[in-house]
Chains A and B, each alone.
Chain A
């Protein structure tokens, strides 16, 4: 092996291997952050990656001339790509980030080479170390820029970002070719600022993607919240119409039965028939409202939901004392109480019959409407932004309930959510009603 004639070259090689391993670990650390946890253990992942990069470096050493460095960040980046399969699925982000990462590492290499090669007096050790440290610094910078969002952006936008990165990579390639072909490659001309600009643009692409991703997500969520609100309003309006119809029918039925019993009495019919008709009309009276608060919006929602609770064997305890002229709109009532009661229902359904209960308190004091809804529930362990993370599989509208409640409440009041080992409590104060 003519590569290791001197001890200095052996030492340099050892250092290159070390730098490459560290570089690889920095890359995987970045992946861990931007794509989420790998589905194999970190230890295993780092070990395999280190092995791969050692082999690659040895191979590079064997085919390259001794004075050429064997540790190249773009190569490390390239060989980190196969490990992407260990990370959660997110093709859009992986492709874009891989391309940008490759461009960034290459631009860094190029820029650094253009700066340091013309220097006449230099220490190879210092130059190499600084080069690698700079690369790690860039990786850390990218990690800081990225917020770890995992939402897709529209494909047109994604295509644009990818195209920018691809274009800079191609330009890099052409410039590289042009520079190496001329008589004196290191002229410190236009290429250097150009490389730095490319570096800057490509690092900014990470930030762009991140911002767009967050923006798209909030936008989507907003639309979904709106949709849910509309659906909910419609749902309650329809239910209320049905209940109204039932009430009218009941009322008519009662009148018919009463008339029938009067007629029967007048016609000297048998006592049994008369008695039967009386009981029947009495029965109808029993089907009444469960609660009556004097506020039509609240009444309809509470009655619809409380009858559902009772059907599910949930013990319901209500205490409601409110003035009738509350400035609470149907939309507010629906989105706050409807959602809270839906959540309570979901939580109770996961429990045994004898453990199911809901306690509803609505009071009014000092121009403030206070809603307190407590229900039996298992303790909630995962939270995000102060709201429980939905445990339901279907993600369409689930988990939006409390978000909608918060959206409505924050405009005119404040709320607090608490979870204990066997209950869930939401307190809401709506001011100036």
Chain B
């Protein structure tokens, strides 16, 4: 189930975008159109729902696309926000809400469906589930919730934003179970979720919140190559 919100004060544009998205023939995709940021936020708050993808015009009356997006971002770290911009308007705070992509006006249906496909692929990847067991209890975590895996003796510690889980196992057995386009091994006892990488230094990968993860010589080139393809996928062609 993928929910898309389109927010544009020009209803003609909004409708044509909706048509393109609905014509893409993706199972379980639903689309809602909003004519202003205020309306969208009100809807989100009253109905307690969220969308996976937001297609937002930057120029909106009353509350512009960027401040609307920043409210959305505060509550939802995983939402994909795609801005629709005019060639001339450059509003630079736009990067603070971590937009997924930009679409330039006039939006071509080709480009729109391309960006939509990339978004859906991104959601699919990050939404995959990692299953594990602690004692007799079975657990599951979405890939996007996992920051990194750390091997320690015969145990593996799963680090997430909400705490850690300790399971029995080996890093080498875990890496083969994961999606290599999202996870990369940096060291004999570390696997990182590339979505959380802030930068790559010579000997460490720096994750968000400045967490350093060591890189071993063996994995040095591998991690750089993997992250470059990850960024390329993220930024599009």
Using a CB–CB cutoff of 8 Å, the interface residues on chain A facing chain B are 292, 294, 319, 321, 323-325, 361, 363-368, 370, 372, 413-416, 427, 429, 431-432
- CB-CB nearest in chain A for B208: A366
Interface residue from B95, B104, B225 paired with A414 (Cβ < 8 Å): B225
**Could you list 28 A-B pairs, sorted by A, with CB under 8 Å?**
A292-B90, A323-B92, A323-B95, A324-B92, A325-B92, A361-B235, A363-B235, A363-B236, A364-B95, A365-B98, A365-B235, A366-B195, A366-B197, A366-B234, A367-B198, A370-B235, A372-B232, A372-B235, A414-B225, A414-B227, A415-B228, A416-B228, A416-B229, A427-B232, A429-B231, A431-B198, A431-B199, A431-B201
Complex contacts, A370 vs chain B, CB 8 Å: 231-232, 234-235
Is the pair B95, A432 in contact by a Cβ cutoff of 8 Å? no
Q: How far is the CA of A413 from the CA of B94 in the complex (A)?
A: 24
Q: Does B237 contact A (CB under 8 A)?
A: yes
Complex contacts, B200 vs chain A, CB 8 Å: 413-414, 431
Is the pair A367, B199 in contact by a Cβ cutoff of 8 Å? yes
Complex contacts, A414 vs chain B, CB 8 Å: 200, 224-225, 227-228
Is the pair A416, B225 in contact by a Cβ cutoff of 8 Å? yes
Interface residue from A319, A324, A365, A432 paired with B234 (Cβ < 8 Å): A365
* A-B pair number, CB within 8 angstroms: 61
In addition to A294-B90, A294-B92, A416-B228, 5 A-B residue pairs with Cβ atoms within 8 Å of each other are A325-B92, A367-B198, A372-B235, A415-B228, A429-B228
Q: Does B168 contact A (CB under 8 A)?
A: no
Complex contacts, B95 vs chain A, CB 8 Å: 323, 364
B175 to chain A, nearest CB (A): 21
Interface residue from A321, A367, A416, A429 paired with B102 (Cβ < 8 Å): A321
Using a CB–CB cutoff of 8 Å, the interface residues on chain B facing chain A are 90, 92, 94-95, 98, 102, 104, 195, 197-201, 206, 224-225, 227-229, 231-232, 234-237
Q: How far is the CA of A325 from the CA of B94 in the complex (A)?
A: 12
Complex contacts, A319 vs chain B, CB 8 Å: 102, 104
A261 to chain B, nearest CB (A): 26
Interface residue from B94, B198, B201, B224 paired with A366 (Cβ < 8 Å): B198
Is the pair B92, A361 in contact by a Cβ cutoff of 8 Å? no
- CB-CB nearest in chain B for A371: B235
- CB-CB nearest in chain A for B197: A366
Is the pair B92, A368 in contact by a Cβ cutoff of 8 Å? no
Complex contacts, B229 vs chain A, CB 8 Å: 416
A214 to chain B, nearest CB (A): 23
A402 to chain B, nearest CB (A): 16
Q: How far is the CA of A416 from the CA of B229 in the complex (A)?
A: 9
Interface residue from A321, A363, A368 paired with B199 (Cβ < 8 Å): A368
Is the pair B228, A427 in contact by a Cβ cutoff of 8 Å? yes
B209 to chain A, nearest CB (A): 13
B30 to chain A, nearest CB (A): 27
Q: How far is the CA of A370 from the CA of B235 in the complex (A)?
A: 8
- CB-CB nearest in chain A for B88: A292
Q: How far is the CA of A427 from the CA of B231 in the complex (A)?
A: 10
Complex contacts, A364 vs chain B, CB 8 Å: 95
Is the pair B198, A432 in contact by a Cβ cutoff of 8 Å? yes
Q: Give the most central of B92, B227, B235: most A CB within 10 Å.
A: B235
Is the pair A365, B92 in contact by a Cβ cutoff of 8 Å? no
- CB-CB nearest in chain B for A428: B228
B38 to chain A, nearest CB (A): 26
Q: How far is the CA of A324 from the CA of B231 in the complex (A)?
A: 20
Is the pair A429, B90 in contact by a Cβ cutoff of 8 Å? no
Complex contacts, B198 vs chain A, CB 8 Å: 366-367, 431-432
B36 to chain A, nearest CB (A): 24
Q: How far is the CA of A427 from the CA of B206 in the complex (A)?
A: 21
Complex contacts, B225 vs chain A, CB 8 Å: 414, 416
- CB-CB nearest in chain B for A432: B199
A14 to chain B, nearest CB (A): 54
- CB-CB nearest in chain A for B205: A431
Complex contacts, B102 vs chain A, CB 8 Å: 319, 321
- CB-CB nearest in chain B for A412: B199
- CB-CB nearest in chain B for A416: B228
- CB-CB nearest in chain A for B194: A366
- CB-CB nearest in chain B for A430: B199
A118 to chain B, nearest CB (A): 53
Interface residue from B98, B201, B237 paired with A361 (Cβ < 8 Å): B237
Complex contacts, B90 vs chain A, CB 8 Å: 292, 294, 324
Q: How far is the CA of A134 from the CA of B181 in the complex (A)?
A: 54
- CB-CB nearest in chain B for A320: B102
Complex contacts, B92 vs chain A, CB 8 Å: 294, 323-325
A373 to chain B, nearest CB (A): 12
Complex contacts, A321 vs chain B, CB 8 Å: 102
Q: How far is the CA of A415 from the CA of B227 in the complex (A)?
A: 10
Q: How far is the CA of A416 from the CA of B206 in the complex (A)?
A: 21
Q: Provided the pairs A323-B95, A366-B198 are in contact, do residues A361 and B231 lie with their beta carbons within 8 angstroms? A: no
Is the pair A365, B199 in contact by a Cβ cutoff of 8 Å? no
Q: Give the most central of A292, A319, A364: most B CB within 10 Å.
A: A319
Complex contacts, A363 vs chain B, CB 8 Å: 235-236
Q: How far is the CA of A379 from the CA of B90 in the complex (A)?
A: 38
A410 to chain B, nearest CB (A): 9
Q: How far is the CA of A364 from the CA of B225 in the complex (A)?
A: 18
Complex contacts, A429 vs chain B, CB 8 Å: 227-228, 231
A174 to chain B, nearest CB (A): 52
Complex contacts, B206 vs chain A, CB 8 Å: 432
Complex contacts, B235 vs chain A, CB 8 Å: 361, 363, 365, 370, 372
Q: How far is the CA of A414 from the CA of B225 in the complex (A)?
A: 8
